[in-house]
A and B are shown apart, each in its own frame.
Chain A
Amino acid sequence: MLILTRKSGEGIRIGDDIRVVVLDVKGNQVRIGIEASASMPVHRDEVYEKIKSENIKASTATGENLHRLFKLWTEKK
């Protein structure tokens, strides 16, 4: 991992299209500004990982699972 030291107000360029700026540092919290093209997805790390792992779990459904589920669903109604 590339490690750079930056002060509040200083930034980093990633390629030609992405700019990351340290806006504010308070205690153990850092506010970061990101400028990137609209098509570049930007996510908080933990949210990205949470959705990815939920997707992986969701991909293991079987027809039998869904069938039992559908039965439960119709009984509830």
Chain B
Amino acid sequence: MKIYTSRFGEIDVDKNKVINFARGILGFPEAKRYVVLDHMNNPEIPFKWLQAIDKSDLAFVITDPLLFYPDYNPGIEEKDLKELKISDSSDYGTIVLVTIPHGEPEKMTANLQGPIVLNLKTRDARQIVLLDDEYSTRYPLLTSHIQLQSPTVK
């Protein structure tokens, strides 16, 4: 199916690749259907676009949190897994939204407190809000390895 996007113009989307957010993404309840697009059509790039199908100008940069934070292990609650009909850990994937400050891409951060959980079989997804503050909404990606190695100075 063909969709129009403000960033990429008209694109052809495989119907089977559509991701359904029954509740939308927080702040954008009106957009329920999304599709993942490679940046510059290059599947090797670890940052991808999560493009809304019904809102042409709405798109997020997403990435795999494990690339930057190998120990990332958000405790997804049973009820959230149930709502997404996930019964096995191999049934789902976790992605995070990336914020890139204008003109300062080196200061990019990932929202680790609000990960997106995707049922890989049904392609139903939901943004989870983690109850505790163990993970930041602004986790710096490019400097993360430095921060992890040096002790916190207080």
Q: Could you list which residues of chain A lie within 8 angstroms of chain B, going by C-beta atoms? A: 38-39, 41, 43-44, 47-48, 50-63, 65-70, 72-73, 76
Contacts and interface: CB of A to CB of B under 8 A. Distances in A.
A59 B28 contact: yes
B116 to A, nearest CB: 10
B70 interface: no
Contacts of B10: none
Nearest to A38: B79
Contacts of B46: 73
B83 A60 contact: no
A52 B111 CA distance: 11
Given A48-B129, A51-B137, A70-B39, A58 B113 contact: no
Contacts of A73: 46-47, 142
Given A55-B97, A69-B47, A61 B138 contact: no
B105 interface: yes
Q: Which 4 A-B pairs give the minimum distances between C-beta atoms?
A: A38-B79, A69-B105, A51-B114, A52-B27
Given A38-B83, A51-B114, A73-B46, A58 B99 contact: yes
Interface of B: 7-8, 23, 25-28, 39-40, 45-47, 49, 58-61, 78-79, 82-83, 97-100, 102, 105-106, 108, 111, 113-114, 127, 129-131, 133, 137-138, 142
Given A50-B113, A51-B127, A58 B61 contact: yes
B105 A54 contact: no
Given A54-B99, A55-B97, A47 B129 contact: yes
B95 to A, nearest CB: 12
A73 to B, nearest CB: 7
Given A55-B97, A69-B47, A70-B45, A61 B61 contact: yes
11 contacts: A39-B83, A47-B130, A47-B133, A48-B26, A54-B97, A54-B111, A65-B100, A66-B61, A66-B105, A69-B108, A72-B106
A51 B111 contact: yes
